[in-house]
């Protein structure tokens, strides 16, 4: 899907907030579960530590609730002001109802429509794209896009090839009609379902409902063929970031920030190289949070928010299960007081 936008109403991100659980799990801590070393994990992925939600009674919605509550507080908004909540998640609280509905209820967003969006690690970009279309069309004016994942609910602590990669966390943005000349300028989304064989959670859906067999086979955990996914991700994410820059005549000097999905530092570096950007223009926090799936990009925006200036060109890019991947060019619309 491509869209070179020239709408009459432009959509803009007008606020961001995020939340990660306080409990830090270092690579060294993981050696209690898997045969690994801090050096191996850091060299292969760039990860030093991640956050785990320790309270078993909490779920992805609770991560999302913290992010949205913080966003509303920052904006001085009531939950009743929200028109639509899109929750992008690979780890919904339940298969249904939607985690967005659970978040709405927990925060009291009684006027909001809500639904979930499933596009694995590209989910936040897909959700932001949907929010943009609704705001541009006039259908909804105040859309909250939440990326929330309790990845520890599907991490297989017996699989050393995946257990170290993921962390828990959530981020949320508010998308509204732009009140200046800045906002979401171009969107490039791609998917290829033949990639479904390499990154998936086999059990728990209608194909393999929970049974003794699916539990015994550990089918309710995430499975990844890392090398194959890496090969597609390293070219896919770099390609879309380069393509969106090229088709909008954006040169490296024009770009203030690359905001990449945080799956592997080597994939981030390859994307930065293709875009011709220096390290100083790339948001990287994978060392502290690992891969929070739908949370990575809004968590980055939240951490760098105070450095962003109106008019800054940001290139967002992601690659994930499906396969799904994409890039968004936006011009940051506000300065942080």
Active-site residue set:
121, 261, 291
> What is the C-alpha to C-alpha distance for residues 35 and 166, in angstroms, rounded to an integer?
17
Cα torsion 212, 217, 220, 221 to 10°: value is 160
Token pair recorded at residue 114: 């809500």
Residue of 233, 277, 286, 317 that binds ligand UT7 (CB under 6 A): 233
Which residue's beta carbon is nearest to the bound ligand UT7?
226
Inter-residue contact 299 to 289 (CB < 8 Å)? yes
Nearer to ligand UT7, 58 or 161 (CB): 161
Give yes or no for residue 308 binding ligand UT7 (CB under 6 A). Answer: no
**DSSP 3-state assignment of 334?**
coil
Stretch that binds ligand UT7, among 124-132, 134-142, 160-168, 211-219 (CB under 6 A): 160-168
Give yes or no for residue 44 binding ligand UT7 (CB under 6 A). Answer: yes
Residues 69-98, one symbol each (x = binds ligand UT7 by CB under 6 A, - = not), give: ------------------------------
DSSP 89: -
> What is the C-alpha to C-alpha distance for residues 278 and 184, in angstroms, rounded to an integer?
23
Give yes or no for residue 323 binding ligand UT7 (CB under 6 A). Answer: no
Phi, psi angles (nearest 5°) of residue 316:
-95, 140
Strand pairing class (113-117; 84-88): parallel
Residue of 18, 86, 238, 267 that binds ligand UT7 (CB under 6 A): 267
Stretch that binds ligand UT7, among 33-41, 146-154, 177-185, 268-276 (CB under 6 A): 33-41
Give yes or no for residue 291 binding ligand UT7 (CB under 6 A). Answer: yes
Token pair recorded at residue 89: 């998640």
Is the N-terminal amide bond of 31 cis, ω within 30° of 0? no
Give yes or no for residue 122 binding ligand UT7 (CB under 6 A). Answer: no
Q: Which one, of 112, 91, 90, lies nearest residue 101 by Cα?
A: 112
Residue with tokens 């990326």: 147
Give yes or no for residue 320 binding ligand UT7 (CB under 6 A). Answer: yes
Give yes or no for residue 284 binding ligand UT7 (CB under 6 A). Answer: no
> What is the C-alpha to C-alpha distance for residues 235 and 250, in angstroms, rounded to an integer?
20
Residues 162-181, one symbol each (x = binds ligand UT7 by CB under 6 A, - = not), give: --xx----------------
Stretch that binds ligand UT7, among 66-74, 75-83, 183-191, 222-230 (CB under 6 A): 222-230
The residues that touch ligand UT7, with contacts defined as CB under 6 A, are: 34, 36, 40-41, 44-45, 121, 160-161, 164-165, 226-227, 229-230, 233, 263-264, 267, 291, 319-320
């Amino acid at each position: 899907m491509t869209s070179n936008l020239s709408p009459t109403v432009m959509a803009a991100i007008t606020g961001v907030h995020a939340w990660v659980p306080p409990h830090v799990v270092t690579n060294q801590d993981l050696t209690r579960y898997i045969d690994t070393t801090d050096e191996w994990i850091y060299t292969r992925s760039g990860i030093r530590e991640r956050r785990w939600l320790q309270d078993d009674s909490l779920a992805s919605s609770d991560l999302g609730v913290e992010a949205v509550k913080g966003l509303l507080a920052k904006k001085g908004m009531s939950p009743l002001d929200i028109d639509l909540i899109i929750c992008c998640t690979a780890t919904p609280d339940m298969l249904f109802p939607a985690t967005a509905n659970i978040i709405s209820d927990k925060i009291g967003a009684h006027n909001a429509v809500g639904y979930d969006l499933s596009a694995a690690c590209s989910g936040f970009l897909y959700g932001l794209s949907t929010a943009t279309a609704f705001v541009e069309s006039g259908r909804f004016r105040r859309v909250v896009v939440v990326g929330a994942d309790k990845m520890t609910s599907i991490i297989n602590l017996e699989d050393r090839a995946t257990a170290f990669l993921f962390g828990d966390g959530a981020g949320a943005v508010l998308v509204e009609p732009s009140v200046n000349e800045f906002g979401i300028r171009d969107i490039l989304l791609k998917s290829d379902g033949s990639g479904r064989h390499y990154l998936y959670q086999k059990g728990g859906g209608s194909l393999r409902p929970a049974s003794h067999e699916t539990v015994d086979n550990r089918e309710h955990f995430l499975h990844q063929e890392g090398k194959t996914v890496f090969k597609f991700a390293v070219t896919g994410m770099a390609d879309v970031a380069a393509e969106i820059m090229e088709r909008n005549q954006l040169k490296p000097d024009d770009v203030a920030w690359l905001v990449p999905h945080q799956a592997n530092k080597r994939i981030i570096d390859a994307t930065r190289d293709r875009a011709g950007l220096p390290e100083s223009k790339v948001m990287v926090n994978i060392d502290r949070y690992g891969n929070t799936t739908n949370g990575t990009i809004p968590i980055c925006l939240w951490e760098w928010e105070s450095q962003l200036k109106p008019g800054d060109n940001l290139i967002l890019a992601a690659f994930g299960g499906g396969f799904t991947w994409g890039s968004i060019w936006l011009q940051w619309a506000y300065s942080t007081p």
